[in-house]
Amino acid sequence: MWRRYLLWFAHEHVDFRHAEINSILSLFKIPIRFIEKPCLEKPYWIVELPSEDCAKKIASRSVLMKNCIELWSRAKSIDQLHINLRKSLQNTTSKWIFENVECAEYICPKELIDVCCSPNNSFKIEVETFCKHFSIQEKLDKIEEFTYLPLKGSVKLKNPDITLSYLEFYGVNPNNVPEQPYDLFFGKWIAEGQRDLIRFHSLKKRKFIGNTSMDAQLAIVMANQAQIAPGHIVIDPFVGSGSLLIAAAHFGAYVWGSDIDYMMLHGRTRPTRVGQKVRSKEESIKNNLKQYGTESKYIDILVSDFSLPLWRDGVKFDAMITDPPYGVREPTEKIGIERNNYTLSEEHLTNHIPSKVEYGLPHIYSDLLNFAARHLEMNGRLVCWFPVIRADYQDEQLPSHPCLRLIANSEQILTKLTARRLLTYEKICDDVSSVTVDPSSGVPNFRDKYFAIGEETRRERKERRAEEIATYAAVKARLGNEVT
């Protein structure tokens, strides 16, 4: 019998929920039924899953989900919630009873409660609220209202056999909190999500970081959307300080990386942390993996220009996760020279350091998708960020390739004007012998637009300030010294 569950999410990166959970469901081949359509304004989903084991598998990967409970009762008021629970104690049909479909109130089978009522099972009841704070005493008063449940075991606050969860939802607007909750839930706690990884992988504690090191939470989201599993071989062709490789290695993948920035890969760039003047010799991507106990997953890091072919055609990767430079905080460069017919003499060839030219975003994403189509395993995934000007964004601007299918597109707002979108592609065709993506195929150059907007904004501020000064001068001239 399928059981009903409440998936309770942290209310952040809301636009990424579907992409992460759907990737995890696909990875574990878990079917799911939605009892009601998920809403971005609510931090929970009500679903049905084939078994408790399926719920635990989802929780074992998701970093956006706080916890999962086996749902016993749901109502719009506390009185109705207790009525439903009392009716559940009489419901011996082994089926859900829908008391009020419009209000989404229902009653669980009695057998779900009976399993938790053995005298050998210690228990505790937790109270959690969303958008409203209660004191410890207020929470204890709410717990006392559940004394009618036939729980025969002893109360144990630390590591009990059974944890029961009572949740109240007061909306998502902290400036307009209602007196009574909009929704109430009660059930058995099943599993915690992977929220602890955010703190465990925090950049504040990491040995080696750079100016654009990926936030730990988003790095894990990317690894989940890439469906990284133990034994996979994963590459980041714009590896930087290796944040994405840490997330991939955490899930058991062997990791490759490459980047054109020699100084960054050798930990010799200007330090990122405030107050640090010189980088230590221990700062490296390999030592980052060693810090988290995944050094055995490290294959190698290469200094290379991604625009130039490096890998043999037969080399395949299970997944690609990357955050290409946008040309704003980090330069977009490739090896080249702007002078025509330039030649290098033999005497200078040995110690020659190649010069670099701009590597425009249309060319970067063209090369990235062509590389993915050629070097990903069939059904392998490419997960990458794509910067956009929010006012100009259209789906048609996104890079595409006939051998890759775009299966997820989530937005992270950066500023009032800009955002970046996390794109997930899946390889659907292996015949890439004559298929390439033209870099002039419609992908806008984010860097040019970004600085054009910046210049326009500065000009507008300057003009507005000049108008304010002129207005002030005119008023002062008319009214004399009365103007302050």
Mention every residue, 6+ apart, whose C-beta is less than 8 A from residue 353: none
How do beta strands 333-335 and 356-358 pair?
antiparallel
CA 109 to mean position of chain CA atoms: 36
Neighbours of 30 (CB within 10 A): 17
pTM score: 0.89
- Tell me the domain boundaries of the chain: 3-194, 198-337+351-444, 449-482
Whether 101 has a pLDDT exceeding 50, the answer reads no
CA 450 to mean position of chain CA atoms: 24
Cα 416 from Cα 437, distance rounded (Å): 31
Q: Which two tokens stand for residue 111?
A: 């057998």
Whether 188 has a pLDDT exceeding 70, the answer reads yes
- Taking only the tens place, the pLDDT of each residue in 302-343 is 999 999 988 998 999 999 999 999 888 788 888 888 777 777
- Taking only the tens place, the pLDDT of each residue in 220-266 is 999 999 999 999 999 999 999 999 999 999 999 999 999 999 999 99
**HSE (side-chain half, CA atoms, 13 Å) at 331:** 9
Q: What is the DSSP letter of 195?
A: T
With CA atoms as reference, report the closest residue to 411 among 402, 399, 420, 424.
420
With CA atoms as reference, report the closest residue to 178 among 128, 129, 132, 127.
132
Whether 448 has a pLDDT exceeding 80, the answer reads no
Which residue has tokens 């292996």?
430
With CA atoms as reference, report the closest residue to 322 among 263, 247, 395.
247
Supply the pLDDT for residue 480.
Answer: 66
Residues 439 and 362: beta-carbon distance below 8 Å: yes
User: Does 3.30.2130.30 match the CATH number of domain 3-194?
Assistant: yes
The pLDDT mean for the chain works out to: 89
With CA atoms as reference, report the closest residue to 318 among 404, 259, 255.
255
Whether 99 has a pLDDT exceeding 90, the answer reads no
Partners of 405 in beta bridges: 426
How do beta strands 3-9 and 65-75 pair?
antiparallel
Cα 476 from Cα 14, distance rounded (Å): 52
Supply the pLDDT for residue 476.
Answer: 74
- Taking only the tens place, the pLDDT of each residue in 44-72 is 999 999 999 999 999 999 999 999 999 99
Q: Which two tokens stand for residue 74?
A: 């749901």
Mention every residue, 6+ apart, whose C-beta is less than 8 A from residue 115: none
Cα 180 from Cα 420, distance rounded (Å): 38
Supply the pLDDT for residue 343.
Answer: 77
Q: Which two tokens stand for residue 228?
A: 């990284």
Q: Which two tokens stand for residue 251?
A: 């899930």
Cα 354 from Cα 223, distance rounded (Å): 34
User: Does 3.90.1150.10 match the CATH number of domain 198-337+351-444?
Assistant: no
Which residue has tokens 């290469």?
302
Cα 107 from Cα 308, distance rounded (Å): 62
Give the DSSP H or E segment for 127.
strand 123-130
Range 290-293 contact pairs with CB under 8 angstroms and sequence separation of 24 or more: 291/206, 291/207, 292/200, 292/201, 292/246, 292/249, 292/250
- Dihedral sign for Cα atoms in the order 447, 448, 454, 457: negative
